[in-house]
């Protein structure tokens, strides 16, 4: 009786909507999909991912025990991919989602919002120290993961070259677009074989690595709850300076719609600036955007009101669109069919060893670099995720979306170094 009363009084919410209103909206969307009438536009895309992500996220938040291990994020990502695998969704629904997620690249907009908002809302000292200190575990983790991954694969009877080029490298390459596709192109040119053959061979390692990175992050996040002294509760570096308490205090300023709209222009400008620099330097544009944003923050080039608006925009996006975004990623980016084809126990164990090594490298290094072990481990885990997709999944699992700038550097810079090193090694071996 109490639950019925809560429903009548609109006290039960699914995402941002009261349950009755959520059901009405969802039913209308489902009917439109069945009639093949969902528009293949941004509106149609949002109509698909919002109810799906909100429902799965809310469901995960209410599952006893598992909610403490990242159930909202994991369900939002995995359930849609399972539904696609079993062909539950019709073509109209997937086309509408594709328009938003791939054609319009909502993922990049989401990441740019989080990167700019979190950097501009971060204290300058914490920002600089975080970037400097994370470089050591990032580079060391890549080397150790390659060594451990190859060793485990060889112990199971695999050839070291095959293990490195087809398992270790795709896991650590920074995702599909920036990693797997670049590796496939390099392999194809060097070995004079079909490009698509390499794409299908490399993607499973990336997907499986992403899954275990999420799993290790959920465990590490739980360790941080059980042993609070190991967690910075979202802060990466241990540092003391005048004004630290004020810098870490949650901003309670009322939302400023004008400043938030200005923040969208700022993030768009910084993103485009990064793309321009990419043409000149041939360095990943998103990393250059992060550097540009950090420079803007460090030299205080923006008014305080714009910085505050950027931080509020970041909170709005991360608070309302994280689970829907992950649902969209699950619909279109997680190819379970390719994973199922290569499922073997040695393959799984090798990838688990790679991800575990990367994660624990960050954890151990943190004690020598004055970083919080839980946060350092989570950032390191992002190196074995699916690029931006993996960063969102991993950080949302740990409820630490504010670490997105560091995760992006670890993923994109680390991934770029892995691709360059792998390509150079293959070219040397096949001269």
- pTM higher than the cut 0.75: yes
Same domain? For 97 and 112 the reply is no
Same domain? For 30 and 42 the reply is yes
Same domain? For 131 and 41 the reply is no
Question: In this predicted structure, what is the pLDDT of residue 1?
Answer: 46
What distance in Å separates the CA atoms of residue 215 and residue 397, rounded to the nearest whole number?
9
Domain boundary among 103, 136, 154: 103
Kindly list the averaged pLDDT for each block of 10 residues, start to end, along the chain of length 431: 56 90 96 94 96 94 80 86 92 95 89 86 81 90 95 94 94 82 86 82 87 92 93 85 53 80 95 92 81 90 92 89 89 80 86 96 93 94 86 90 88 86 89 75
Same domain? For 49 and 177 the reply is no
Domain that holds residue 47: 2-103
- Specify the number of domains making up the chain: 2
Is 15 in contact with 70 (CB distance < 8 Å)? no
Same domain? For 116 and 151 the reply is yes
Same domain? For 169 and 97 the reply is no
Same domain? For 388 and 336 the reply is yes
Question: In this predicted structure, what is the pLDDT of residue 251?
Answer: 63
Same domain? For 133 and 250 the reply is yes
In sequence order, what are the residues at sequence separation of 6 or more whose Cβ sits closer than 8 angstroms to the Cβ of residue 247? 122, 123, 126
Domain boundary among 40, 75, 103: 103
Q: What is the DSSP string of 283-328?
A: S-HHHHHHHHHHHHHHTT-S-HHHHHHHHHHHHHHHHHHHHHHHHH
Same domain? For 81 and 129 the reply is no
Q: Which residues of 176-197 are buried (b: 16+ CB within 10 A; e: fewer)?
A: bebbbbbbbebbbeeeeeeeee
Distances (CA, A) of 332 to 77, 181, 184, 402, 424: 10, 16, 20, 25, 31
Domain boundary among 53, 77, 103: 103
If 0-12 CB within 10 Å is exposed, 13-18 middle and 19+ buried, where does residue 123 land? middle
Question: In this predicted structure, what is the pLDDT of residue 18?
Answer: 92
Task: Identify the DSSP state of 73.
Answer: H
Same domain? For 245 and 318 the reply is yes
Same domain? For 190 and 46 the reply is no
What distance in Å separates the CA atoms of residue 111 and residue 99, rounded to the nearest whole number?
18
Same domain? For 250 and 140 the reply is yes
């Amino acid at each position: 009786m109490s639950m019925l009363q809560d429903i009548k009084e609109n006290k039960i919410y699914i995402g941002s909507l009261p349950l009755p209103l959520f059901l009405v909206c969802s039913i209308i969307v489902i009917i439109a999909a069945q009639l093949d009438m969902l528009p293949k536009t941004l509106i149609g895309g949002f109509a698909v991912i919002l109810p799906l992500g909100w429902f799965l996220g809310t469901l995960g938040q209410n599952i006893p025990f598992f909610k403490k291990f990242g159930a909202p994020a994991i369900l939002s990502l995995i359930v849609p991919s399972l539904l696609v695998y079993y062909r539950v969704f019709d073509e109209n629904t997937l086309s509408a989602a594709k328009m938003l997620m791939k054609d319009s690249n909502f993922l990049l907009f989401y990441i740019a919002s989080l990167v700019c908002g979190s950097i501009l809302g971060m204290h300058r000292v914490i920002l600089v120290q975080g970037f400097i200190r994370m470089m050591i575990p990032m580079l060391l983790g890549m080397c150790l993961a390659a060594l451990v991954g190859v060793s485990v694969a060889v112990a199971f009877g695999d050839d070291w070259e095959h293990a490195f080029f087809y398992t270790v490298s795709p896991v650590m390459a920074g995702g599909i677009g920036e990693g797997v596709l670049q590796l496939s192109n390099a392999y194809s040119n060097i070995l004079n074989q079909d490009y698509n053959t390499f794409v299908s061979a490399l993607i499973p390692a990336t997907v499986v690595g992403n899954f275990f990175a999420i799993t290790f992050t959920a465990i590490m996040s739980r360790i941080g709850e059980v042993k609070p002294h190991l967690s910075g509760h979202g802060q990466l570096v241990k540092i003391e300076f005048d004004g630290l308490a004020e810098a870490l205090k949650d901003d309670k300023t009322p939302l400023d719609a004008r400043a938030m709209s200005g923040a969208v222009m700022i993030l768009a400008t910084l993103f485009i600036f990064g793309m321009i620099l990419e043409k000149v330097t041939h360095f990943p544009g998103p990393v250059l955007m992060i550097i540009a944003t950090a420079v803007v923050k460090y030299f205080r080039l923006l008014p305080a009101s714009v910085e505050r608006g950027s931080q509020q925009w970041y909170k709005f996006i991360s608070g309302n669109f994280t689970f829907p975004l992950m649902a969209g990623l699950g619909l279109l980016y997680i190819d379970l069919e390719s994973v199922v084809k290569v499922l073997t126990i040695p393959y799984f164990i090798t990838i688990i060893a790679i991800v575990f090594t990367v994660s624990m490298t960050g954890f151990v290094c943190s004690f020598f670099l004055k970083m919080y072990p839980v946060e350092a481990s989570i950032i390191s885990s992002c190196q074995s995720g699916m690029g931006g997709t993996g960063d969102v999944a991993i950080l949302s699992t740990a409820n630490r979306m504010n670490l997105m700038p560091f995760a992006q550097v670890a993923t994109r810079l680390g991934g770029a170094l892995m691709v360059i090193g792998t390509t150079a090694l293959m070219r040397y071996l096949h001269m």
